[in-house]
Chains A and B, each alone.
Chain A
Amino acid sequence: MNERELAESVVRKLDEGLESVPAGTLYRLRLARGAALSRAHLGASASWRSPDAPRLLGRRLLVPVFGLILALSLLIVWHQQSTTQPDYAELDAQVLSDELPVTAYLDTGFEVWLHHHATD
């Protein structure tokens, strides 16, 4: 008996046995098959809508949200550092210790004086 003949024999025996299965057992088998098929269908067509979906969605959002918070924190640190204005401190230190007093830059009389002597 080859493989095909064996399979045909098994199918025939099963078909013969099917006729002797009680009606109640057939009904329960039909119900179980239907339930199994509907579960399989649900899993294949709507996997991301499964009961785990909210949790998965939360995990997917975690990375961008964390990135946003990190960027915000870096921005805050940068802002804190920039408020000390180290460049202004350096420039102001130079202006205030320079040979020319700060009044010279604001004195309109000196501006006129320079203008008068510009061609000398």
Chain B
Amino acid sequence: MTFWLPVATYAGKGAAEERGLEWKQLSAEQQHILAPLADEWPKIEAPRRGKWIEIAKRYPKMTPQQQERLQSRMKQWASMSPEQRTQVRDRYKKLKEMPPEKREAIHRRWKEYDALSEEEKKSLRQAHPPRSAPASGKL
């Protein structure tokens, strides 16, 4: 019956979308941009594959530095849990809402922290997490 055509079409498309685009179905440019994810691609579910393809569309508009950062973090991002990704997104949004000087201060603190030895970092991680850090310094 023609009335059920949209539903039937959706059901058929849904089955195809459940699998998502296979790696070999991506264009050469998409494969180049998403190269760090090549091994993980079969394990990535369809909606997230779609999202990565969307990200790849934005790649050409980025600066070379941003492109490098994006590619170097892809694999790690893909291996994170959905909860971790949500946490990062939420904290990123909070950071973006901060005044530029506070954002700069946090970036500076990160460079300082990153320069610490692994022992020092480990010691800080083992410390009790702050219960209520001041808004200016908390991500």
Report A's interface with B, CB cutoff 8 A: 65-66, 69, 72-73, 76, 80, 83-86, 88-115, 117-119
* Residues A92 and B110 in contact, CB atoms below 8 Å apart: no
Q: A72-B6, A86-B54, A97-B67 are in contact. Are A114 and B84 (CB under 8 A)?
A: no
| Known A-B contacts A86-B54, A108-B129; A96 and B113 likewise in contact (beta carbons under 8 Å) | no
Inter-chain CA distance A95–B17, complex, in Å, is 26
Query: A28: shortest Cβ distance to chain B, in Å?
Result: 52
B7, A72: Cβ atoms under 8 Å? yes
Query: Which applies to chain B's interface (DSSP): helix, strand, loop or mixed?
Result: helix
Q: Are A80 and B10 in contact (CB under 8 A)?
A: yes
Tell me the chain B residues, 81-139 only, with Cβ under 8 Å from chain A. 84-85, 87-89, 91-93, 95, 106-107, 109-110, 112-113, 116, 121-125, 127, 129-130, 133-134, 136-139
B35 located at the interface, meaning its Cβ lies under 8 Å from any Cβ of chain A in the complex: no
When chains A and B are docked, how far (Å) is the Cα of A51 from the Cα of B27?
63
- Rounded to whole angstroms, the CA-CA distance of A100 and B121 in the bound complex is 17
- Residues in chain A near residue B112, CB distance under 8 A: 113
A118-B50 contact in complex given A90-B58, A110-B113, A113-B124, C-beta closer than 8 Å = no
The chain B residue sitting closest to A94, CB to CB, is B92
Instruction: For the complex, give the distance between the alpha carbons of A89 and B89 in Å.
Output: 11
B24 close to chain A: CB less than 8 A: no
Q: Is there an interface contact between B3 and A69, defined as CB atoms closer than 8 Å? A: yes
27 A-B pairs in the complex with CB atoms less than 8 angstroms apart: A69-B3, A72-B6, A84-B51, A84-B54, A88-B51, A90-B54, A91-B89, A91-B92, A92-B51, A95-B77, A97-B69, A98-B69, A102-B77, A105-B91, A106-B87, A107-B125, A108-B124, A108-B125, A110-B113, A111-B138, A111-B139, A113-B112, A114-B133, A117-B137, A118-B136, A118-B137, A118-B138
CB distance from A5 to the nearest CB of B (A): 69
Tell whether B43 is near chain A: CB-to-CB under 8 Å.
no
